[in-house]
Structure 1
């Protein structure tokens, strides 16, 4: 518990985030990638199936013991709810119904939000725009830990505590770093969520509510799926701000691991991100770089980075 910190400050970079210029250069060289942009017609059906699965789970957990409510919340419900947060991430880029139907995307995100138990989708959309526009920007990108977090959670044991508390920091950090006025969509999101929670409580009691909300909280902290929070943008290699993970967890997380590709082309739905490198003859992930970074995620919240140097093509 008394280990010394590996570093005492964040890595400061005084250049623009790289993805805007990368996108222009890549599209100039591989214009066929544009064909991957646009809505994913299957997304709404996948999300609807997940929401209905959680409603069925609410019915089933009403009579189990409290111990099993928590166990099922962590092992099953939490996985679905975390996946739904990533579906909401995709929907925030209007890939469910397209840019011309932005309002339908906002409403559908609220529907995807229902099993999470707490209003999330409207606020996420509001701040996620800044994450793409000002990636890593001090006081602008609320995904970056605060100075207090960086100062205090600086030893392995404290970092473990930080991982456990990650959902609370993730939810509260925007209110401290870059507070914004509450929007009408956020009010609607909260009202819809409250009505849904009251209905579930009326039909099946308190256990389904605990199952949903505890699953949402547990799955955002010390949980295998949560490794992407660290893998995406924490600087493992100097000079590289975004990393991709190409492992099996992408199958249940809407390919959020393809994060370099996502930031290069946020209008491409997650289901098509694996096709991006194919559209560029497999050269995209190596664009302007001679490094492949593979991130393996483990239950113990250990992140192993394997870096291979490639010969110049």
Structure 2
């Protein structure tokens, strides 16, 4: 169990991502899937309710002992914040208000960002579009670990440390792999977020701020819900780069487990992805599926053949986008 992962590089391929061709085939066979595309009118109300709940809890934890603040940050607040990051993931595809109201989606993501404690939504959208357009693209898809991560985090203990450090790696990796100029929306996101943090500190105190920040760090790191980070694209079966999970944790994560379906149809809201699988079941039921995100984390740590290097990479040409 203490041996290093023997794989010394990523799995390089010279083919296009499979989602493009499968999307064409499914739409040709089941054109009714197009009716699932478009905004989800319920999403904004669910997100607003979650933000409100976190604000109420901030009031409840302000006078607790520090050990209980951190306990509730991990057990409850972090779960809510992780769920909100996945709401932001959905909103980044304009499914809250539709493509014609792109700015509304961006500003609503800033509202969903508030309990997370750090400005996140604007930067996420900027890089997440590349993740879909250039899946596995060398120097383009910042979801791919760096060579240093693949080389260094190669034993069970180091892989556990890597999982704990995930929130920081996701923040720092884009600055190294694919740095981009800071946008006006990112500055607005930061201004709103830090103003909200300061207001929360003034009204509820330090413990409420720590409750939100610690929850985000805890549950975006080593936590059962964070199993989806590994489950989505790490190569548990050679040659396969995207995987789905259909278990109960989808109820907390806006169906992010339906990840093959999501990459096939990113403009379909998470709430409708189960219908994609139901309509085109022959395309999905035969694919390798994860049964448990906890099992995914266990296998990632202790299986010698799986580590940060277990990703498919490809050379991609930068698209000319007006």
Q: Does the Cα contact within 8 Å between 1:118 and 1:213 map onto a contact in 2? A: yes
Do the aligned residues in 1 keep the contact of 2:3 with 2:155 (CA within 8 Å)?
A: yes
Alignment of 1:283 with 2:279, yes or no, is no
Matched, 1:302 2:298: yes
Count of paired positions: 301
* Residue matched to 2:140: 140
Cα offset for 1:6? 3.1
Q: Give the direction of change, closer, same or farther, for the CA distance of 1:86–1:148 in structure 2 (3 Å limit).
A: same
Partner residue, 1:249? 249
Q: Does structure 2 retain, via aligned residues, the 8 Å contact 1:232–1:244?
A: yes
How does 1:175-194 map onto structure 2 within 5 Å? 175-194=175-194
Task: Sort the Cα spacing of 1:303 and 1:272 in 2 relative to 1 into closer, same or farther, 3 A.
Answer: farther
Shift of 1:294: 2.7
Partner SS state of residue 292, structure 2: strand
Task: Evaluate the alpha carbon distance shift between residue 103 and residue 300 of structure 1 in structure 2; reply closer, same or farther with a 3 A threshold.
Answer: closer
- In the superposition, the TM-score normalised over structure 2's length comes to 0.91
Match of 2:153 in 1: 153
Distance 1:143 1:30 in 2: 31
SS of 1:181's equivalent in the other structure is coil
What do the CA deviations read for 1:271-305 (whole angstroms, capped 9, x no partner)?
0000112223x22314xxx4442331228931499
Contact 2:277 2:284 in 1 (8 A): yes
Partner of 2:312: none
RMSD of equivalent CA atoms: 1.5
Specify every segment of 5 or more residues in structure 1 that has no aligned partner in the other structure, as ranges. Answer: 306-313
1:2, distance to aligned residue in structure 2 (A): 4.7
Q: Secondary structure at the match of 1:240?
A: coil
Alignment of 1:150-229 (within 5 A): 150-229=150-229
* Aligned residues of 2:230 and 2:297 also touching (Cα < 8 A): no
Cα gap change, 1:225/1:77 in structure 2, threshold over 3 Å: closer, same or farther?
A: same
Alpha-carbon separation, structure 2, partners of 1:192 and 1:55: 16
Q: CA deviation at 1:25?
A: 1.4
More divergent stretch after superposition (237-246 vs 179-188): 237-246
- Kept in 2, the 8 Å contact 1:231–1:295? The answer is no
CA distance in 2, matches of 1:111, 1:66: 27
Deviation (angstroms), 1:17:
1.2
Larger RCO (CA within 8 A; separation ≥ 6) = 2
After TM superposition, give the deviation of residue 142 of structure 1 in Å.
0.1
Counterpart in the other structure of 2:122 = 122
Structure 2, gaps ≥5 residues long: 304-322
CA apart distance, 1:24: 1.1
Name the TM-score, length of structure 1 as normaliser.
0.93
SS at match of 2:291: strand
Distance 1:186 1:18 in 2: 32
CA displacement, residues 147-186 of structure 1 (integer Å, 9 cap, x when unaligned): 0000000111111110111111111100000000000000
How far off its partner does 1:77 sit?
Answer: 0.1
Contact 1:61 1:69 in 2 (8 A): yes
Does structure 2 conserve the Cα–Cα contact (< 8 Å) formed by 1:78 and 1:219?
yes
Match of residue 289, structure 2, among 280, 286, 293: 293
Deviates more, 1:20-29 or 1:57-66: 20-29
User: Retained in 1: the 8 A contact 2:231–2:290?
Assistant: no
Distance 1:58 1:98, change over 3 A: same
Paired position in structure 2 for 1:309 = none
Map 1:56-75 → 2, pairs under 5 A: 56-75=56-75
* Partner residue in 2 for 1:310: none
